[in-house]
Amino acid sequence: MTCIFCQIVARELPAEILFEDSELVVFKDINPEAPVHLLIVPKRHFDSLNSLDELTAQIGARMFLAAKKMAESLGIESGYKVLINCGREGGQVIRHLHMHLLGGWGRKPVRR
Ligand code: AMP
Ligand code: ZN
């Protein structure tokens, strides 16, 4: 069975996708740990950061650039964090390479 992030990429599972290009999708984390918590996910399946090599390292650069652009487009560029958990001991639960983008702490709460 394909992994759940591959299924999100293939639109077989729902997700709140905020950005997509030929190499990446960016969607909201289902269990946010910050006011803004996005996942930046390569469309191609890599198990983890350990799977990148000289030929595929460029995907890492694309992920960093996507984090910067998403932070700018969401107005949180004054302060955010990016995080990649790698391996079970490193806290990686989903075995498909992804970068967390966390921020928005300075935002005023939305009144309803
Ligand atoms: P990690 O611990 O780095 O593997 O992070 C996995 C992240 O994926 C967690 O923050 C989860 O909340 C998130 N997550 C798991 N399933 C989904 C899903 N179906 N849609 C969006 N985010 C998810
Ligand atoms: Zn996958």
Q: Which atom of ligand 1 is nearest to the CA of 84?
A: 3
What are the residue ranges of helices labelled H in the chain?
4-9, 58-73
Q: What is the CA radius of gyration of the chain?
A: 14
pLDDT for position 106: 84
Residue 41: name the closest of 16, 78, 66, 58 by CA: 66
Instruction: Note whether 51 and 45 are within 8 A (CB).
Output: no
| Per-residue confidence band for 112, with pLDDT thresholds at 50, 70 and 90 | low
Segment 80-100 shows an average pLDDT of: 98
Contact 48 CB / ligand 1 (< 6 Å): no
Query: Which of the following CATH numbers is that of domain 4-103: 3.40.1160.10, 2.60.40.10, 1.20.1730.10, 3.30.428.10?
Result: 3.30.428.10
Tell me, what's the pLDDT at 111? 63
| Predicted model pTM | 0.95
Percent of the chain whose pLDDT exceeds 90? 92
Look up 98 and say whether it is catalytic: yes
Number of helices and strands (H, E) in the chain? Answer: 2, 5
- Please identify which of the residues 37, 45, 96, 98 carries the catalytic annotation: 98
All structural domains of the chain with their residue ranges: 4-103
Q: Say if ligand 1 is within 6 A of residue 93 CB.
A: yes
- Give CA separation, 3 vs 37, 68, 86, in Å: 21, 26, 16
Q: Are 78 and 15 in contact (CB under 8 A)?
A: no
Tokens (6 digits) for 14: 């729902």
27-75 pLDDT, tens digit per residue, is 999 999 999 999 999 999 999 999 999 999 999 999 999 999 999 999 9
- Which residue among 94, 97, 99 is best mutated to probe the pocket of ligand 1, counting the most ligand atoms within 8 A of its Cβ? 94
